[in-house]
């Protein structure tokens, strides 16, 4: 980090207060600052107020009170468009690209260089983008169609979009959550380039390893308040974890030995089409036994989701069989934590307790088949809230008011407590903080100890290594590698994920 003086501060958030519901401040008098040429990590639990704070900084939300200073001058943002004019931009977790556009078109979209009458000056725009590519060493083919590109590349497009708009202050929201280790490494190189050119980088993340590896300073939020501002080289992951959670966390989850002999799930020579009608699963066979955790690694979009959906009866099979032991109508009783929780897992207009019985409303506990037993539902919900530490601790809170992490906890709670021999889990801890992740991991292990067979799809390789009894890597709709978590590592899995390696035909 370069020497900083007070007047070189690029971002200053002063005494920010933001409340979404009366009596509870998502941001409670928060102060935050970042310098040019700094990578500043923003960490904290789910619902600690990180996203809210950054949404205020880039103009998505307006603070109830408090000030934003950009390069020392007070700024008022009514929309992200206002923010980008002053050089503040954000790369979201979910990319916002037009799939059918070329990379170049996506980059310049909304800010095109034009001739008279709004005719786009492609040549000039392209020249500008090429120069940006060169100076920050970002490699993308500008003429490719964006839709089919790997997430790592899509992310680069998002970064170029911001650079094209002359962003000096760039916020990245959990940028590594969906990247392979190799892609992550590349991203970090890019971030270092950006930092050296004097940009301000703000990194929202849950991964303490990354914080320590790449950031210069860290701001920790807990329950809407700042609990620490630290120089990265003067702290440790233990100290950070304590600041995040307010207590020290238990160490590593202890893995048990693999389960019994009874086969719960048997998938045989499976072929599945994706939504566009082309092959998503190209001949997959696998067996999961009781008490076993079967991990599936892979870059997103290589058929994992289609596989999970098919097993849960949400997608039609074009060839092959899926057999689940002891269940005739298996479509009914499989526990499923879906990858796309907003689309499938929750009804955001429902209360928390209503969400906790989604798909389970006919269970004896919750209804007599016709009439809901609201008292029992409420009791169940209170227990779950307590056990899973869901916030706010209010069964009647609307789901859309919960932070992403708490929504995820609710989905996990519902599915993990379901009476089912098979649990299909996609990205169980994406967006969860350390404490919640640890908790979910422990729950997964406990359920597997009870004899449940668990199919675990994740792009978080450390998670897979930690929990799985077996790991299969999917690439292009096939299983290209079956690995033993005891004898492999993230880099090796990464090579299978990108198709460099294969130990199958």
Partner 1 sequence: MNKITKYIYSAAGPILSIIISLIFGAVLIALIGKNPIDIYTKMFSDTIGNSYGFGQVMFKSTTLIFTGLAAAFAFKAGLFNIGAEGQLTIGAFASAWVGITFVNFPWQIIIPLSLLAAFIGGAFWAGIAGYLKARFGSHEVINTIMLNFIAMALVSYIVNNIYLVPATIHTPEISPESVLLRFDILTGMFKGSPFNLSFPIAIGACILMYLIINKSVLGYRIRTYGFNPFAAEYAKMKSGRIILWSMAVSGGLAGLGGLNFVNGYKHYFELGLSENAGYIGIAVALIARNNPFAIIPVSIFFGILEYGGLTVNTLVPKEIVTIMQGIIILLIIAVTKIFEKKFKVKTV
Which residues of the chain form contacts with partner 1 (CB under 8 A)? 20-22, 313-314, 331-332, 336, 338, 343-350, 354, 357-359, 361-362, 367, 369-372, 374, 398
**For 177-262, where are the E strands, in sequence order?**
200-204, 217-222, 225-231
**CB-CB contact of 370 with 385 (8 Å):** no
Do 386 and 409 touch, CB atoms closer than 8 A?
A: no
Minimum CB distance to partner 1, residue 42 (Å):
25
* Closest separation in Å from C-beta 406 to partner 1: 17
The C-alpha atoms of residue 152 and residue 154 are separated, in whole angstroms, by: 5
Q: Which is nearer to partner 1, 6 or 371 (CB)?
A: 371
In sequence order, the β-bridge partners of residue 268 are 321
Which is nearer to partner 1, 256 or 331 (by Cβ)? 331
The DSSP element (H or E) to which 386 belongs, if any, is helix 374-388
Shortest Å distance, C-beta 398 to partner 1: 7
3-class SS of residue 123: helix
Nearer to partner 1, 357 or 461 (CB): 357
Specify which residues 120 forms β-bridges with.
114
In which element (H, E) is residue 156 found? helix 151-164
Q: φ and ψ at 161, to 5 degrees?
A: -55, -45
* Closest CB 321 distance from partner 1, rounded Å: 20
* 461 neighbors 181 (Cβ within 8 angstroms): yes
**CB of residue 22 to partner 1, shortest distance in Å:** 6
CB-based burial, 365-380: b 16+ in 10 Å, e otherwise: ebbeeeeebeeebeeb
DSSP tag of 29 = E
CB of 215 to partner 1, least distance (A): 34
The strand order across the sheet containing 225-231 reads: 88-91, 169-173, 200-204, 38-44, 217-222, 225-231
Between 375 and 505, name the residue whose CB sits nearer to partner 1: 375
We find the least distance from the C-beta atom of residue 419 to partner 1, in angstroms, to be 15
| Min separation Cβ 391 and partner 1, Å | 18
The tally of CA atoms less than 13 A away on the side-chain side of residue 103 is 23
Round to whole Å and give the CA distance between 398 and 400.
6
- 119 vs 371, beta carbon nearer partner 1: 371
Report how far apart the first and last C-alpha atoms of the chain are (Å, whole number).
49
Q: Smallest distance, Å, CB 275 to partner 1?
A: 13
DSSP state of 504: -
Within a 10 A sphere around the Cβ of 22, how many other Cβ atoms?
5
- The smaller minimum CB distance to partner 1, of residues 214 and 397, is found at 397
**Could you give the 3-state DSSP secondary structure of residue 310?**
helix
Nearer to partner 1, 40 or 336 (CB): 336
Q: Which is nearer to partner 1, 25 or 33 (CB)?
A: 25
Strand partners, 142: none
Is the Cβ of residue 289 or residue 315 nearer to partner 1 in the bound state?
315
Give me the DSSP letters along 163-189. HHTT-SEEEEESTTTT--HHHHHHHHH
CB of residue 342 to partner 1, shortest distance in Å:
9
Q: What is the DSSP letter of 114?
A: B
**Shortest distance in whole angstroms from residue 372 CB to partner 1:** 6
Longest alpha-carbon distance in the chain: 73
- Distance of closest approach, residue 99 Cβ to partner 1, in angstroms: 19
* Smaller CB separation from partner 1, 195 or 315: 315
Could you give the CA distance from residue 310 to residue 312 in angstroms, rounded to a whole number? 5
Per the structure block, which two tokens stand in for 67?
């000030």
Nearer to partner 1, 74 or 361 (CB): 361
Which of 62, 13, 59 has its CA nearest to residue 33? 13
95 vs 366, beta carbon nearer partner 1: 366
């Amino acid at each position: 980090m370069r020497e900083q003086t007070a007047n070189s501060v690029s971002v200053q958030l002063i005494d920010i207060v933001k409340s979404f519901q009366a009596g509870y401040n998502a941001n409670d008098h928060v102060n935050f600052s970042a310098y040019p040429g700094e990578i500043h990590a923003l960490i904290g639990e789910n619902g600690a107020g990180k996203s809210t704070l950054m949404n205020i900084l880039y103009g998505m939300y307006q603070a109830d009170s408090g000030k934003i200073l950009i390069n020392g001058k007070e700024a008022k943002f009514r929309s992200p468009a206002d923010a980008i004019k002053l050089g503040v931009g954000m790369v979201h977790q979910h990319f916002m690209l037009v799939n059918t556009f070329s990379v170049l078109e996506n980059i310049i979209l909304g800010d095109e260089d034009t001739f008279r009458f709004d005719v786009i000056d492609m040549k000039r725009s392209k020249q500008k983008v090429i120069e940006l590519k060169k100076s920050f060493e970002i490699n993308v083919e500008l003429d490719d169609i964006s839709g089919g590109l790997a997430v790592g590349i899509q992310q680069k497009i998002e970064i170029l979009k911001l650079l094209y708009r002359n962003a000096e202050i760039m916020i990245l929201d959990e940028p590594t959550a969906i990247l392979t280790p190799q892609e992550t490494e590349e991203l970090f190189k890019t971030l270092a380039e950006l930092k050296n050119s004097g940009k301000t980088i703000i990194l929202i993340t849950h991964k303490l390893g990354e914080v320590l590896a790449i950031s210069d300073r860290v701001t920790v939020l807990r329950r809407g308040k700042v609990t620490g501002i630290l120089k990265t080289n003067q702290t440790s992951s233990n100290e950070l974890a304590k600041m995040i959670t307010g207590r020290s966390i238990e160490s590593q989850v202890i893995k048990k030995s693999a389960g019994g002999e009874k086969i719960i799930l048997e998938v045989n020579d499976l072929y599945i089409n994706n939504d566009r009608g082309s092959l998503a699963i190209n001949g997959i066979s696998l067996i999961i036994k009781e008490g076993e955790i079967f991990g599936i690694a892979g870059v997103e979009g290589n058929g994992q989701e289609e596989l999970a959906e098919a097993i849960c009866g949400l997608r039609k099979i074009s060839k092959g069989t899926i057999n689940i032991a002891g269940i005739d109508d298996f479509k009914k009783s499989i526990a499923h934590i879906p990858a796309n929780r907003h689309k499938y897992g929750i009804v955001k207009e429902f209360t928390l307790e209503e969400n906790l019985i989604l798909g389970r409303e006919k269970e004896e506990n919750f209804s007599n088949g016709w009439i809901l037993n609201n008292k029992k539902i409420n009791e169940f919900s209170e227990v779950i809230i307590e056990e899973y530490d869901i916030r706010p601790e209010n069964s009647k809170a609307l789901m859309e008011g919960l932070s992403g992490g708490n929504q995820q906890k609710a989905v996990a709670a519902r599915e993990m407590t379901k009476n089912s021999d098979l649990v299909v889990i996609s990205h169980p801890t994406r967006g969860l903080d350390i404490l919640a992740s640890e908790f979910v991991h422990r729950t997964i292990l406990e359920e597997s100890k009870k004899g449940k067979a668990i199919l675990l799809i994740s792009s978080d390789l450390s998670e897979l290594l930690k929990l799985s009894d077996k790991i299969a890597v999917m690439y292009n709709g096939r299983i290209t590698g079956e690995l033993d978590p005891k004898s492999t590592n993230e880099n090796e899995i990464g090579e299978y994920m990108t198709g460099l390696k294969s130990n199958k035909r």
